[in-house]
A and B are shown apart, each in its own frame.
Chain A
Amino acid sequence: GESVGLHLPTLSVQEGDNSIINCAYSNSASDYFIWYKQESGKGPQFIIDIRSNMDKRQGQRVTVLLNKTVKHLSLQIAATQPGDSAVYFCAENISNFGNEKLTFGTGTRLTIIP
């Protein structure tokens, strides 16, 4: 069945260090992946996306890596700042006869230590 999971529920990183958040997915038909950030009391916020025909995509301080062989997705945040403290979700998009659905992971809480 479809499932998106995260290896680590919590992650603490020293300010200025790099962080890596991982995500495993099980559906090889997923064609598109998104990382979201959710701060306390707010809705999810889009960070970066990647299509299944790519293995790497870079944004500002963030990089997403996709390894389709092992069905693994990661989000790298460089030079972390206090404002990066949040819960991070991965999501996979599955199209089934024109009915698209985003399936979200349970989330990883990232805490930046000053």
Chain B
Amino acid sequence: DSGVTQTPKHLITATGQRVTLRCSPRSGDLSVYWYQQSLDQGLQFLIQYYNGEERAKGNILERFSAQQFPDLHSELNLSSLELGDSALYFCASSAGPNNYYEQYFGPGTRLTVT
């Protein structure tokens, strides 16, 4: 158990809909990262927050947005969902602001868009 929790574990929704994925980092960790893992694209970095502020941005679509709240939990919002958005979404947390700090991954949320 990494100490990172993600909810829900599974999510099935229709195209065009909007969903919110939630992540609680390990106790004391200030950074939260979001990743997408699909069969054809592998693991892709989406976005990072550190202590409530956006820190780094990766291959995140404009239809996706995220935020980190004062209690350090984070939410990833996916809107106007397409079939290609079906994937595993992982959250990771670390103690510091950059990638030199070990990242601990949650169990993931499996999103299926039908």
Interface residue? A101 (CB, 8 A) = yes
The reply to whether B2 and A45 contact each other, CB–CB distance below 8 Å, is yes
Dominant SS among interface residues on chain A: strand
Question: How far is B45's CA from A44's CA once the two chains are assembled, in angstroms?
Answer: 13
Residues of B within 8 A of A8 (CB): none
Residues of A within 8 A of B53 (CB): none
Interface string of A1-36 (1 = CB under 8 A from B): 000000000000000000000000000000010100
| Total count of chain A residues near the partner, CB < 8 A | 21
15 A-B pairs with C-beta separation under 8 A: A32-B99, A32-B100, A34-B99, A42-B108, A43-B90, A43-B105, A44-B92, A44-B105, A45-B2, A45-B105, A46-B104, A93-B99, A101-B56, A101-B58, A107-B43
